[in-house]
């Protein structure tokens, strides 16, 4: 190859005027000239680099082709499994991979307690307890002050004493920490102070039903009320709520009414109970003063005292309901019989008088309407102590009431050996015997509901108990009519219990207060009123007791200085009935319906004896079988041959105790001799002998 000539050897051409030999720009070939070839030297590294780039291009092309192939395969697969042949998802796999978004708390140690409508009355909530190891606390004084600063109510001195006790390695500082307090203590970062996961029993309704619910210890063990009575049930089945018969709405109404009465009359305390006349279930039971159930441990003793079941009080004239029921059911006394109330009764150094003496012969309805102690005493002495005790034993006045509260106490009464003339008389009008208000209202239930006794209960069972017949339906009907008279009669003692549209019947009670030495205190009494409604078909019985009321300046224009049951307790009962009636579905009557219902319950204060019947009264004082005490009280000598058969028949009717579930065997008792003049006025009924005798 011939080497090209040097550039400097080329003859320059001067640019100018053009032409064949005209000069051209450097590097530009002449027109028509053949292009020259340039020679480039390529080194080995360049060749290697070019080879590498070629390989890279090949691989990229292969990779791209593979990616396109895979993409097409995946796309085809997706189309197949979603369009051509869809595959359902695996539910188990999805469930296993789904994260849980809820936190399941451990089950509580105690079951909830609810009212009959499912409203929560007691519930266990997660809580924390604060404890410490004194051996690990560096400065007890500083730690105590820091803890007390974030937990109000804790005494720094108490905390320091516990933290300084080096002989122990575990001490509780506070067992009722709130969440905010736990966070505040945790921020302190005190060595040796720790938290323990616990539960706290909470009572959302505060003071309502506090005496019924009771309370628990810091370690969640029941110590009072149903929390104590049903402690095993609440802990053995913590997931199943315990449903009570209480209606928290009615409970609030009763508490408000008795609290108002206690405040108006500056009384020592009060109690109110509403019980079903058809089942014996307690709908409401309030005792004041009371306490917040969350603070049972710090409540004073007077507030913790349950006056409804723990206090034994003489019932006063409310007890005449028992005396007259017993008398009419025995068939020895009839509503048209009249008794001498013209003068007080003197027995030894004791005298029985009436609050408002009438000085007339009174029939049985009149005795109840004006609450004559003299009339009740004469009736009780005709029956005698044996029949009286049998009646009271049957209705539970000699034993503890069967209610699910450990605080319930048995009644107080005279022993049989001292139950003589004076005791028979005083017990007839509610003196000389004492029982709790719950026990008394339970015994009034059969008086108004047709004669069926139900054990009082705080449980809301699915079906009502069968009950036991303890008196005839006739007796109950007569008693309802006479109780209605107490409220409607112009001179009745219960006129302030009237509620428009509601057929309320009842009985007042004013009892003296027994002092510490066993003697009655002067110028002090307990005022009460027992009521039922509606009297044409009784649904509920209401009882209010106001303890030791005073005629305050505020109430003086109304009560005129008296603190009797008619002035103090009857208005509270009327307030309760007017508010709970509509809530319980019992609407007031009006117009013709009200007039007809009232007419059906009407009974004259002094009803005449039916034709052919001989009534007790002047000249005919005693029926067959009358007790010797009736003769003694009338200053007459008892007959030598008492009518034992008539007395035993009355006693058998008194001891009637027929469970309703099984059919009772009925036996007709023989009638009294026809020659007896009183047989016309006191016929012997066919009765069912008791299957079992009432215990006592």
The reported pLDDT for the residue numbered 208 is 97
Has residue 18 got a pLDDT over 90?
A: no
**Can 113-244 and 254-655 be said to share one CATH topology?**
no
- 677 — pLDDT class (breaks 50, 70, 90): very low
User: For 501, left (φ over 0), alpha (ψ -120 to 50), or beta?
Assistant: left
Who wins on pLDDT, 435 or 74? 435
User: pLDDT tens digits for 565-608?
Assistant: 999 999 999 999 999 999 999 999 999 999 999 999 999 999 99
Q: Evaluate if residue 521 carries a pLDDT over 60.
A: yes
Residue 292 CB burial class (10 angstroms; 0-12, 13-18, ≥19): middle
- What backbone torsions phi and psi does residue 209 show, to the nearest 5 degrees? 60, 25
Pair of tokens at residue 52: 């590498």
| 219 vs 328: CA distance, rounded Å | 54
CA distance 669 to 227: 49
Task: Report the length, in residues, of the chain.
Answer: 696
The mean of the pLDDT values for the chain is: 87
* Neighbour tally for 233: CB within 10 Å: 15
Residues 405-449 have pLDDT tens digits of 999 999 999 999 999 999 999 999 999 999 999 999 999 999 999
Q: What's the confidence (pLDDT) of residue 177?
A: 85
pLDDT above 70 covers a percentage of the chain that reads 87
Query: How buried is residue 617: exposed, middle or buried, by Cβ count under 10 Å (0-12/13-18/19+)?
Result: middle
Nearest-angstrom CA–CA distance, 284 and 576: 11
The answer to whether 605 and 363 have CB atoms below 8 angstroms apart is: yes
| Lowest-pLDDT range of 98-112, 214-228, 338-352, 669-683 | 669-683
pLDDT band at 83 (very low <50, low <70, confident <90, very high): confident
Backbone phi, psi, residue 505, to 5°? -130, 155
Beta bridge partners of 531: 506, 542
Q: Which of 132-136, 211-215, 317-321 bottoms out in mean pLDDT, i.e. has the lowest?
A: 132-136
Q: Which residues pair with 19 in a beta bridge?
A: none
CATH fold for the domain made of 113-244: Penicillin-binding protein 2a (Domain 2) (3.90.1310)
Q: Which residue has the tokens 């009465």?
A: 261
- pLDDT tens digits, one per residue of 617-665: 999 999 999 999 999 999 999 998 889 999 999 999 999 999 986 434 3
pLDDT surpassing 50 at residue 674 = no
Cα 229 from chain centre: 14
The residue ranges of every structural domain in the chain are 113-244, 254-655
Distance, CA of 477 to CA of 675 (rounded, Å): 30
The C-alpha atoms of residue 625 and residue 646 are separated, in whole angstroms, by 5
User: Is residue 29's pLDDT more than 60?
Assistant: no
Neighbours of 254 (CB within 10 A): 30
304-310-316-317 Cα dihedral, nearest 10 degrees:
100
Q: What pLDDT band is residue 293 in, cutting at 50, 70 and 90?
A: very high
| pTM of structure | 0.79
Residues acting as catalytic residues: 317
* CATH number belonging to the domain at 254-655, selected among 3.40.50.720, 3.40.630.30, 3.40.710.10, 3.90.550.10: 3.40.710.10
| Higher pLDDT, residue 355 or 584 | 584
Structure tokens at 132: 């410490």
pLDDT of 546 higher than 90: yes
Decide if pLDDT at 237 tops 60: yes
């Amino acid at each position: 190859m011939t080497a090209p000539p040097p550039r400097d050897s080329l003859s320059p051409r001067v640019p100018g005027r053009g032409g064949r030999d005209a000069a051209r720009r450097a590097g530009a070939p002449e027109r028509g000239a053949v292009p020259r070839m340039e020679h480039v030297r390529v080194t080995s590294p360049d060749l290697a680099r070019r080879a590498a780039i070629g390989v890279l291009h090949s691989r990229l092309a292969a990779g791209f082709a593979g990616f396109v192939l895979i993409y097409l395969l995946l796309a085809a697969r997706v189309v197949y499994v979603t369009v051509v042949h869809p595959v359902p998802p695996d539910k188990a796999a999805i469930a296993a991979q789904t994260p849980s978004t809820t936190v399941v708390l451990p089950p509580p140690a105690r079951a909830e307690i609810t009212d009959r409508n499912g409203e929560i009355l007691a519930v266990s909530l997660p809580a924390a307890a604060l404890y410490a190891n004194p051996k690990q606390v560096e400065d007890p004084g500083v730690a105590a002050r820091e803890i007390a600063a974030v937990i109000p109510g804790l005494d720094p001195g108490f905390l320091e004493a516990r933290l300084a006790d080096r002989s122990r390695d575990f001490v509780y500082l506070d067992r009722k920490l709130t969440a905010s307090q736990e966070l505040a203590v945790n921020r302190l970062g005190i060595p040796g102070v720790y938290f323990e996961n616990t539960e706290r029993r909470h009572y959302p309704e505060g003071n309502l039903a506090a005496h019924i619910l009771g309370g628990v210890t810091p370690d969640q063990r029941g110590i009072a009320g149903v929390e104590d009575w049903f402690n095993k049930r609440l802990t053995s089945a913590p997931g199943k709520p315990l449903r009570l018969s209480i209606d928290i709405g009615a409970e609030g109404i009763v508490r408000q009414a008795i609290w108002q009465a206690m405040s108006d009359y500056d009384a020592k305390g009060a109690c109110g109970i509403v019980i079903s006349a058809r089942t014996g279930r307690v709908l409401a039971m309030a005792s004041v003063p009371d306490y917040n159930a969350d603070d049972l441990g710090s409540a004073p003793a007077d507030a913790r005292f349950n006056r409804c079941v723990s206090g034994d009080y003489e019932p006063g004239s409310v007890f005449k309901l028992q005396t007259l029921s017993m008398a009419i059911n025995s068939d020895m006394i009839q509503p048209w019989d009249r008794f001498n109330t013209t003068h007080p009764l003197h027995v030894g150094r004791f005298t029985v008088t009436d609050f408002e003496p009438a000085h007339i012969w009174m029939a049985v309805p009149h005795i109840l309407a004006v609450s004559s102690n003299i009339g009740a005493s004469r009736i009780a002495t005709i029956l005698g102590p044996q029949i009286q005790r049998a009646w009271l034993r049957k209705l539970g006045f000699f034993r503890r009431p069967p209610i699910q509260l450990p605080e319930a106490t048995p009644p107080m009464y005279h022993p049989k050996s001292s139950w003589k003339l004076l005791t028979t008389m005083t017990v007839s009008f509610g003196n000389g015997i004492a029982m709790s208000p719950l026990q008394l209202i339970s015994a009034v239930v059969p008086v108004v509901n047709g004669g069926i006794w139900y054990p009082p209960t705080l449980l809301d069972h699915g079906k009502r108990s069968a009950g036991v017949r303890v008196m005839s339906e006739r007796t109950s009907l007569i008693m309802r009519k006479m109780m209605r008279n107490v409220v409607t009669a112009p001179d009745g003692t219960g006129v302030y219990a009237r509620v428009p549209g509601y057929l309320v019947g009842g009985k007042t009670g004013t009892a003296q207060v027994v002092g510490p030495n066993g003697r009655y205190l002067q110028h002090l009494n307990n005022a009460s009123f027992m009521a039922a409604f509606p009297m044409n078909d009784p649904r509920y019985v209401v009882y209010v007791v106001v303890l030791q009321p005073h005629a305050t300046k505020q109430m003086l224009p109304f009560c005129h200085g008296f603190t009797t049951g008619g002035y103090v307790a009857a208005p509270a009962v009327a307030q309760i009935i007017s508010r709970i009636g509509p809530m319980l579905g019992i609407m007031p009557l009006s117009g013709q319906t009200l007039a007809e219902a009232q007419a059906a319950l009407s009974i004259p204060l002094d009803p005449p004896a039916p034709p052919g019947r001989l009534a007790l009264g002047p000249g005919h004082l005693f029926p067959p079988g009358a007790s010797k005490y009736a003769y003694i009280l009338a200053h007459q000598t008892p007959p030598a041959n008492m009518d034992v058969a008539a007395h035993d028949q009355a006693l058998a009717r008194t001891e009637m105790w027929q469970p309703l579930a099984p059919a009772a065997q009925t036996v007709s008792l023989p009638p009294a001799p026809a020659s007896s003049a009183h047989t016309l006025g006191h016929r012997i009924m066919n009765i069912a002998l008791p299957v079992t005798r009432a215990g006592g």
